[in-house]
A and B are shown apart, each in its own frame.
Chain A
Amino acid sequence: MMGTMTIFKKELKGFYLSPSFYIIGFLVAVVLSWSYPIQLNLFSQLLANYMFQQNLPQQQLNIHYALFLRHMSYLNLMLIFVVPALTMRLFAEEKKLRTFDLLLTSPVTSSEIVLGKYFAALAAVGGMVLLALLYPMATRTMTQFNWAPLLIAFFGIFLVGAAYAAMDMFCSSLTENALVAYGTSVAFNLSIWFIGAGAELTDSQAARMVFEHISMNTHLGSWAEGTIRTSALVFLFSVIALFCFLAERVVESSRWR
């Protein structure tokens, strides 16, 4: 585990001391600073006109549902493109610079290498999620709401980011070209959302149940209400474990060419 710590610390510094991390963070902030006030404004208008719209669904008046869920959807959309930018260099760069030779001839195991890098990627994704959390927190100065559902929801979106990170790290381990890694990563991230869309395409009751269980859209909705269902946890954690395992296999296999 010493090896994991060493690699984690190095990669973490690599993220938090590099200008590109802050440029990405800045771009995320720009988009959210534009989208969030618009949503906030819509929501406050809705509340002001509430008297005249008696038949409005109760849900629409819930700040968690009407405002934060939308905010999280934007954040998620950005994570699909931002996480690959963070992780694309994890392995591709090592291969290109030939520093992979150093890692593979050091007394660390392939799983220590993968875990060290994965935890660092999590810390970087966590930074982005915290950045997005600042917006609802600022809203707290204007209005009262419950912390718990908000924090649970953001924990959920962080898990989604963690699943992206695992898949994208795996993509990075396949190539020595960071741009190729970026492209395949985005494709993987998008595919997770399309799997859930299968629910509308199938007639079989059983298949529909399965798809609903892994549909990310359903999960996102329930998180906004402050509930995390085990099916969501199981799905995300299996994606994370699977792709970390696959990345470890790829690293290990490079010894056997």
Chain B
Amino acid sequence: MIEVRDLTKDYGPRRAINMINFTVNKGEVVGFLGPNGAGKSTTMKIITGFMAPTSGVAKIAGFDVFESPLEVKKRIGYLPETPPVYTDMYVRDYLKYVADLKKVPREKIKTQIDMALEKTNLGSVQKRLIQNLSKGYRQRVGIAQALVSDPEVLVLDEPTVGLDPKQVAEIRDLIKVLRGHHTIILSTHILSEVQATCERVIIIHQGRIVAQDRIENLAVQNQGQSRLNIRLRKDVADLKTLLGGIEGVVSANQGASRHDWEVHIRGTDEVVDAISSRVVKEGLGLLELSPHKVDLEDVFLKLTYGQDQAGVQP
């Protein structure tokens, strides 16, 4: 549905994105993840036809964004970083205007507006001036605006920024509801958001894609490493020697005190089993043993910040 090939954009001498390649299939929800200034918004602005790339191609539903911009724009709902709302308009009138701009057939306009209002829970403020709405509500008007034309593709640039936790949860639920019906690409720097809503993630750093995969695959990408947090009743000087001989123990680091240890292991449940039985056999007073999967956060930090200081393991 979305196809991006060798996309490059220079702002003057500054290269914002560099040879970006990815595709998004119909009905997929893809998270665009990266630290500040990575080039997420730039990529989205190009996909939506807001601006031209320096080189490369972007295609939506088979239409090239710059050869047939009108065909592309009809199919896209876009929420920019700043919600594009007219402060002197009423919420409902604004949505009507956007629906007209997006060439929604006249007989469908009313139902579409009601649908967008309902999905974003804006029914109660539809007769209010946007000027008088709080930031979170304006953000929701921005989302409603992207939804109102019932587009095939939704491009959401940081959809949950500025919302309170309850609304964040609501928007995430909304995205889950929209999944399947729309193809969605959303950007964020919050990992839990990607984990909560997306099937696939594209991690971008300094204008380049550093990883793209399904979320499950990315998490185990770190060579199957995982971490055990162990709490003991007894003081232990060196847990590593005590665990000596067990295949798969990579390291054992002391935590907050000599009761708390963090053990890095490579391998599967057998290693955990071996460690726990060893600890019990030694009579160390096992209080807690919690396996901690290397999660997306570790992968993310490693792929982005880790790159700047090569070799540093998370």
Contact = CB atoms under 8 A, between A and B. Distances in A.
B80 A101 contact: yes
Interface stretch (B95-103, B206-214, B244-252, B258-266): B95-103
A37 interface: no
B52 interface: yes
Q: Mostly helix, strand, loop or mixed at chain A's interface?
A: helix
Given A6-B97, A255-B51, A257-B51, A105 B73 contact: yes
B154 to A, nearest CB: 12
Contact of A108 (B78, B85, B101): B101
Given A10-B97, A18-B88, A107-B102, A102 B145 contact: yes
Contacts, number: 67
A185 to B, nearest CB: 21
Contact of B70 (A14, A109, A255): A109
Contacts of B49: 104-105, 255
Given A107-B73, A255-B51, A257-B51, A102 B101 contact: yes
B50 A98 contact: no
Of the four ranges (under 10, 10 to 19, 20 to 34, 35 or more), the interface on chain A belongs to 20 to 34
Contacts of A104: 49-50
Interface in A116-147: none
B107 to A, nearest CB: 15
Given A3-B101, A107-B73, A107-B102, A99 B86 contact: yes
Interface in B66-111: 69-71, 73-74, 76, 78, 80, 82, 84-88, 97-98, 100-103
Interface of A: 2-3, 6-7, 10, 14, 18, 97-109, 254-257
5 closest residue pairs by CB, A with B = A102-B84, A107-B73, A106-B101, A6-B100, A98-B82
5 contacts: A2-B100, A2-B103, A97-B85, A99-B85, A102-B145
